[in-house]
Structure 1
């Protein structure tokens, strides 16, 4: 299933599921089955609710809609944790002047830094160094601690797309990256959550690309991860409990704007697209604060 959170024109909030084979039509799951909550975070952590969602999607009398008439929300409204990885592609580590790391660079984002598919990415008034980063995201569906490579993927509810918009000058004000990664509405997330049954295990071997105003800036493949999804979960869960609705962002490949000659940063009016094979396209326009 391809599940997403949205707001209708009458301000009603609901959860939709894209109809297979269609780019625009979806099933309004909550109107089709009134027992379903209008929170994707609640649905993904309950196997019974996931079965109800699947049944609603297949219901011949299901309530249909068109994505052109709705406003996307981020798939998970208020994640308890947004755990981000840095330097998970060797080529990106190299372009930043770093040797191949022995351990991932982890940092955290806060929910106020998120923006949805087709929502604006905000260039803050204090900087003109807003950079793009194409990343694969996954959402946790089950409480998880001390997982192994054999069972790590069992906790994944689905995969999505993330643009880890980074304010580069603020990122480098300290040895910690957090401040440059948490400006309001800089992290684009969406458009939907794709359940693991529709994708290769651990999303291995998927092309990932960023485009700025139609020009390809990053072009890579998830097979080039230094730490795959299962290994990432093992590393995080040996430290902290992963909980339903937590989001993990898995790092970006080479081609980011700050490493180019001359550097390329996003500005108001630009359109940035992140595409991941078999998942979709996350599209955002840049706007000034």
Structure 2
């Protein structure tokens, strides 16, 4: 529930971030103390296997406005972010990662834009030189591909780092889906939005928990959450193959009538069977991806379980 005495809630998911906890706490408080408003920091420990929770509890002794949500296990960043939004009590909420690649100083600019009347202030990474070349290229391709096939566009190079008002949070809470893609959800709810550009920094300490396979699955979640084009495209692929088969079949009939019957080619027949089998399996795979999402949603399981709150 919102607390009228708290203006700003900073929400930060943690997963195996013991090396960065002290740096994050020092930096975020240094920035927030320059603001003339009351604030809280909601840290969500997403089932960390290292000393992250221990260090967060220790930090709470020095920073009494720190709140810690400890999950019963690892539920993933999207669930951790959702929990942070659900438990935040401020009038405005700023999600931020613990690695300090998104500069906390930008929160000052976010607050200024909010005071100008904006309900959503997003941080856009105009310089991602600290990320690897492969990561930058794949991210750019993903944003372009997603926005081509989805009715809901996601701003390019915009992550979870943003300011949103209580009204936006309440709109997000009306969305009941369990399998959540927060970047798409943030964009879907809309509201009066402005952009603040910034340069992405190097990770302050520790290592990222996102790697190639995890990012690929994350991208699939984003595509299947906000687009049915991957399903529809198989109608066109099937129609095209049927048309090609009709044309080729007409050619064979015509050739047979004119030149007679010749020995059929077993190699071409084998290639055709394998090709069509592969296409069918791909179509079933795409259908299975959507069916799996429906299956998980029908269970109505909670998005997360909070074991303890400190």
Superposition TM-score, scaled by structure 1 size: 0.21
Name the larger-Rg structure.
2
Q: Which structure features the higher share of helix residues?
A: 2
